[in-house]
Amino acid sequence: MVDAKQKSRKPASNKSEAAFIRQVGAKETRKLRAQRKAVQTVWMGFGMMGLVGWSVAIPTLLGTALGIWLDKRYPGIHSWTLSLLMIGLFVGCLNAWYWVAKENRATEEELEEPRNGVSGKGRQANGRDRDE
């Protein structure tokens, strides 16, 4: 009689053990990923600041330079320099917004992976391929 009770309990414990193992594995994966990215995050932040800065500065400077050249070649009532400086600044801000939004989407996708049960290259958190 004891053997029959133990047999009926084994599947339940196996299911709970498998769920526990999956949960521990997912937590371990997240912790290892966080440890690897901790150093990268600081440098990625500095890199993003540089990218945003240059993506605003370059169009602004190009607009200003073109405006100065046009003011010297074709003087008029309105300043080409100020007009093209503002246009360059606007284009630079749009460019910076694009890069920040792109990085934000990439970061959100990385954070969503473990929640969706997908970790890495086409595998679910339980180690099986998605197609199975």
Whether residue 126 is predicted with pLDDT greater than 60 in this model: the reply is no
- Asked if residue 10 belongs to a domain, the reply is no
Q: Which residue in this structure is represented by tokens 């997912």?
A: 26
Q: Closest Cα to residue 85, out of 56, 53, 54, 50?
A: 56
Higher pLDDT, 107 or 99: 99
Q: Most confidently modeled of 15-29, 39-53, 114-128? A: 15-29
- Length of the chain in residues, anyone? 132
Question: What would the mean pLDDT of 31-60 be, rounded to a whole number?
Answer: 78
Tally Cβ neighbours within 10 Å of residue 85. 21
- pTM to 2 decimals? 0.54
pLDDT of residue 11: 53
- Asked if residue 73 belongs to a domain, the reply is yes
Q: What is the pLDDT of residues 68-92, one digit of tens each?
A: 999 999 988 999 999 999 999 999 9
- Asked if residue 98 belongs to a domain, the reply is yes
Question: What would the mean pLDDT of 91-120 be, rounded to a whole number?
Answer: 77
Whether residue 124 is predicted with pLDDT greater than 70 in this model: the reply is no
- Asked if residue 105 belongs to a domain, the reply is yes
How many structural domains compose the chain?
1
- Asked if residue 15 belongs to a domain, the reply is no
Amino acid found at 21? I
- Asked if residue 131 belongs to a domain, the reply is no
pLDDT of residue 132: 42
- Asked if residue 16 belongs to a domain, the reply is no
- Asked if residue 11 belongs to a domain, the reply is no
Joined tokens for residue 71: 């003011």
Residues 6+ apart with CB under 8 A from 70: 80, 81, 84
Residue span of the structural domain in which 89 resides? 40-115
pLDDT of residue 24: 85
- The overall average pLDDT reported for the chain is 77
Residues 6+ apart with CB under 8 A from 129: 122, 123
pLDDT of residue 4: 53
